[in-house]
């Protein structure tokens, strides 16, 4: 049986990934590791939970040894907007932290490490529409630089040390269970909370800003599908484009208005607009489709319907 450790376990993706991995592999076989944020009671009760900082190599080594870990999903990351406010922290967590995980993978001969990358790995010189898997990678944010570094390091550890490192380039991820924090695509989650609660939202990106996106069930499926793909099928390792839909902020608002007719939106772009403008509008994810049968389930219409139903139920009677 696999012994899995998930870093960033209290974050937007980590929290749902832990739940799914525990369903699949057994609660006691998935160790959730957070940094400072308290986990939910459910997460703590269901299986092992530990606090540790990924920049503390010894602390991570102790956890690998304590739980006899063979697989790591390394989800902890400082996102793009926070990374621009504090580039030093982004470097420390995203590059030094990742390096620790890769070195520990090599030292402890781990079976597999999953390291997500992001559309932030692309930059202003990258073709924006249907961005190919292989193209110009010159990001202009510390977050993006850390993601390209992660992809290159992961591929290097595979080729040089035979460590099975895999990763996908996530677009913006939309979900209702755990809020994202510090990203440029966070607007696409905030908008639902404000639409349901106040029927009004001020968006920090321009109305015509188009970005690639994915709903959480597809994000979790893609991560686990890649992790479980037979290695012989993989020509790529740490750098798969994955996507499910692309829309502008205005198009998302219109789709929400169909469910919440009185919803109003205005636009006050801030520093995050420059970040969004440096990212692709849509991605070519044919490498993921060919090498591990990637296929998303949710498009814009299905995602908006499900988000509104699930988030309305969650917010009913609770003070957000």
Residue with smallest beta-carbon separation from ligand AKB = 183
* Cβ at position 275, least distance to ligand AKB in Å: 8
263-to-200, 260, 266, 304 alpha-carbon distances in Å: 6, 6, 10, 14
- Considering the rule CB under 6 A, would residue 4 count as an interface residue with ligand AKB? no
Q: Which is nearer to ligand AKB, 118 or 222 (CB)?
A: 118
Where in 47-106 is the site for ligand AKB (CB under 6 A)? Answer: 79-80
∠ CA 257-187-259, rounded to 5°: 15
Structure tokens at 57: 């190599």
264 backbone dihedrals φ, ψ, rounded to 5°: -120, 145
CA-angle at 128, arms to 126 and 133, nearest 5°: 65
Which residues are part of the catalytic machinery?
Answer: 143
Looking at 86-94, 177-185, 192-200, 310-318, which segment touches ligand AKB (CB under 6 A)? 177-185
Q: Least CB distance from residue 280 to ligand AKB, whole Å?
A: 10
Query: DSSP per residue over 193-256, as a string?
Result: HHHHHHSEEEESS-TT-EEEEEEHHHHHHHHHHHHHS-GGG-S-SS-EE--SEEEEHHHHHHHH
Task: Return the number of the residue (53 or 82) whose C-beta is nearest ligand AKB.
Answer: 82
Q: Measure the CA–CA gap between 206 and 251, rounded to whole angstroms.
A: 11
Shortest distance, CB of residue 39 to ligand AKB, whole angstroms?
A: 21
185 binds ligand AKB (CB under 6 A): yes
In the complex, least distance from residue 141 CB atom to ligand AKB, rounded to whole angstroms: 8
Residue 183 lies near ligand AKB (rule: CB under 6 A): yes
Q: Rounded CA gap, 52 and 33, in Å?
A: 6
Residue 172 binds to ligand AKB (criterion: CB under 6 A): yes
Residues in the site for ligand AKB, rule: CB under 6 A? 79-80, 118-120, 143, 170, 172, 183-185
């Amino acid at each position: 049986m696999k012994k899995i450790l998930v870093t960033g376990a209290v974050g937007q993706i980590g929290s749902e990934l832990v739940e799914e991995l525990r369903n699949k592999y057994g609660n006691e076989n998935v160790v959730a590791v957070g940094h400072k944020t308290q986990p939910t009671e459910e997460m703590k009760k269901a299986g092992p939970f530990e606090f540790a900082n990924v920049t503390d190599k010894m602390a991570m080594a102790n956890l690998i040894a304590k739980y006899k870990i063979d697989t790591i999903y390394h989800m902890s990351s400082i996102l793009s907007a926070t990374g621009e406010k504090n580039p030093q922290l982004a470097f420390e967590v995203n590059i030094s932290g990742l390096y620790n995980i890769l070195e520990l993978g090599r030292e402890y001969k781990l079976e597999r490490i999953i390291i997500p990358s992001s559309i932030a790995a692309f930059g202003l010189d990258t073709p924006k529409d249907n961005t190919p898997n292989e193209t110009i990678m010159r990001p202009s944010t510390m977050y993006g630089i850390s993601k390209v570094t992660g992809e290159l390091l992961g591929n290097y550890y595979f080729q040089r040390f035979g460590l099975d490192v895999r990763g996908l380039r996530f677009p913006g991820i939309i979900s209702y269970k755990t809020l994202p924090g510090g990203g440029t695509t966070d607007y696409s989650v905030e908008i639902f909370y404000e639409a349901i609660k106040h029927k009004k939202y001020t968006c920090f990106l321009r109305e015509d800003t188009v970005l690639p996106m994915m709903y959480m069930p597809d994000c979790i499926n893609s991560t686990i599908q890649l992790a479980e793909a037979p290695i012989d099928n993989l020509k790529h390792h740490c750098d798969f484009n994955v996507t499910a839909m692309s829309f502008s902020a205005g198009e998302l608002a219109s789709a929400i208005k169909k469910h919440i007719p009185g919803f109003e939106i205005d636009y006050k772009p801030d520093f995050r607009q420059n970040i969004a403008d440096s990212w692709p509008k849509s991605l070519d994810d044919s490498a993921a489709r060919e090498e591990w049968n990637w296929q998303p389930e949710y498009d814009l219409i299905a995602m908006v319907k499900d988000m509104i139903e699930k988030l309305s139920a969650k917010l009913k009677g609770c003070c957000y």
